């Protein structure tokens, strides 16, 4: 089995080598004030309860010509205020606001950031790139080991249908809360992690419930500058515990500005397009209903996972536009098909890089950044036209089968998580999805 050395960025101050002591000691439990059973009893954290959309509200929203919204949404104010509080407390490993950033001249406007802090604050590990679905391994770092001081708030649906905030709410261990935590090695201002149902210890794979939660967070933030991203295993996720990343960037991502070609419109008004004139081939899903949009994209992601195809997801436009990007850079690395020039940059093209925000780790790469160099790197990420067409075919068949109830999903809150990572879901007739695994590192 092929493996390649992966050097994941430290996302928590408690992400240490086995045997290392935590840098911050508190009283009780394991001494780290973590999110595990040893420290949770009696603990409280802020709770943001968001309001779910309804069909009636959607219809009213769609007929408004100029929707009136407050200048700054409450969630944005809360998130950034708490994020800056953690900065003042010294919880971050470096000051990301001091990193140099520039827009690279050219038609696409790729963004380059020099972030030497992420290069220096890492630890080596072995990471498999040949399997998108892998079982959760509690012996490795996971988000139950995060210190509670790194958690900004719990993020849950409101019980009474109204937005509410509780500054000191008990942690409902039985219902496994979703939480938002800082990324201690941030890429940009406000860089956080959304960790769905953290105590269930779900592996890094998208399901319908988790993706919808991410869309609700994008909608609640209410800012065009706030995006969420997802990296599958094999597409530069570094931790096999379900999570999304998110941050603020006050300019458009190049991928958001690129032209598209409409392919089809699904029932429920979900439009699917294909990227044009962009170095990475991908699909764009758009719709006004978060639930309909989430269902279509989740079906596509589950299809990719089952077929062992690594992928990245970018959620933009307050959750109404989603980019789905299958990729094969890690496969090419493992097979020795990436040039030494690109490998020397040590840039792992995950969702942010693919979207056009190039996080560079060497000053020479930043000084010499050009649209040509960015394009050359991202072109190595993309599937070939032939392979992309095959992937599109299996995605559309999976979505069609879901719509036609050939692919039946039932919810079960007490079903055990299996090796495939389909916790809380029971899927029937998965074998109908044709095609061979793509982007697979061969044994």
Q: Which of 174, 233, 243, 183 has the alpha carbon at shortest distance from 211? A: 243
Q: Which residues does 409 contact at the CB level (< 8 Å), separation at least 6?
A: 208, 402, 425, 426, 427, 428
Taking the C-alpha atoms of 287, 288, 290 and 294 in order, what is their torsion angle to the nearest 10 degrees?
-10
Q: Is 243 a residue of the active site?
A: yes
DSSP state of 287: -
Maximum CA extent, the chain = 59
Among 108, 208, 243, 424, the active-site one is 243
Residues 381, 328: Cα–Cα separation, whole Å: 6
Reported in sequence order, the residue ranges of 109-150 that DSSP labels E, i.e. its strands, are 111-114, 125-127
Output the CA torsion sign for 274, 277, 282, 288: negative
Alpha-carbon distances, residue 189 vs 9, 88, 96, 248 (angstroms) = 17, 14, 7, 6
Name residue 156's beta-bridge partners: 49
Taking the C-alpha atoms of 377, 381, 386 and 392 in order, what is their torsion angle to the nearest 10 degrees?
-140
Residues 327, 410: Cα–Cα separation, whole Å: 30
Q: Which residues are catalytic?
A: 243
């Amino acid at each position: 089995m092929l493996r390649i050395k992966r050097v994941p960025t430290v996302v928590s101050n408690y992400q240490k080598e086995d045997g290392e002591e935590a840098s911050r000691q508190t009283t009780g439990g394991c001494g780290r004030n973590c999110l595990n059973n040893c420290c949770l009893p009696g603990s409280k954290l802020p709770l943001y309860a968001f309001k779910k959309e309804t069909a009636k509200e959607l219809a009213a929203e769609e007929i408004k010509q100029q929707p009136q919204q407050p200048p700054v949404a409450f969630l944005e104010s809360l998130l950034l205020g708490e994020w800056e509080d953690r900065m003042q407390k010294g919880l971050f490993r470096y000051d990301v606001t001091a990193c140099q950033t520039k827009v690279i001249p050219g038609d696409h406007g790729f963004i380059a950031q020099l972030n030497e802090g992420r290069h220096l604050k890492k630890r080596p590990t072995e990471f498999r790139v040949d399997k998108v679905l892998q079982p959760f391994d509690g012996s490795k770092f996971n988000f139950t080991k995060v210190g509670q001081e790194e958690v900004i708030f719990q993020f849950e649906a409101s019980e009474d249908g109204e937005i509410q905030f509780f500054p000191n709410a008990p942690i409902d261990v039985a219902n496994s809360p979703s939480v938002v935590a800082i990324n201690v090695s941030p890429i940009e201002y406000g860089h956080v992690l959304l960790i769905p149902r953290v105590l269930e210890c779900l592996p890094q794979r998208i399901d319908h419930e988790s993706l919808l939660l991410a869309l609700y967070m994008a909608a609640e933030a209410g800012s065009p500058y706030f995006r969420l991203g997802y990296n599958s295993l094999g597409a530069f996720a570094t931790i096999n515990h379900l999570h999304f990343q998110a941050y603020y960037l006050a300019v458009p991502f190049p991928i958001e500005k690129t032209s598209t070609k409409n392919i089809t419109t699904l029932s429920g008004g979900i439009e699917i397009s294909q990227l044009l004139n962009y170095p990475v081939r991908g699909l764009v899903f758009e719709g006004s209903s978060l639930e309909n949009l989430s269902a279509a994209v989740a079906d596509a992601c589950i299809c990719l996972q089952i077929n062992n195809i690594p992928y990245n997801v970018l959620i933009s436009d307050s959750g109404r536009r989603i980019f789905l990007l299958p990729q094969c850079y890690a496969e090419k690395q493992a097979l020795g098909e990436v040039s030494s020039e690109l490998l020397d940059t040590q840039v792992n093209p995950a969702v942010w890089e693919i979207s056009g925000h190039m996080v560079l780790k060497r000053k020479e790469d930043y000084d010499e950044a050009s649209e040509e160099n960015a394009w050359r790197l991202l072109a190595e990420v993309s599937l070939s036209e032939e392979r992309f067409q095959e992937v599109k075919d299996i995605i559309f068949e999976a979505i069609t089968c879901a719509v036609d109830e050939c692919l039946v999903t039932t919810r079960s809150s007490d079903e055990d998580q299996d090796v495939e990572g389909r916790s809380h879901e029971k899927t029937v007739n998965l074998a109908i999805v044709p095609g061979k695994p793509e982007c697979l590192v061969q044994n």
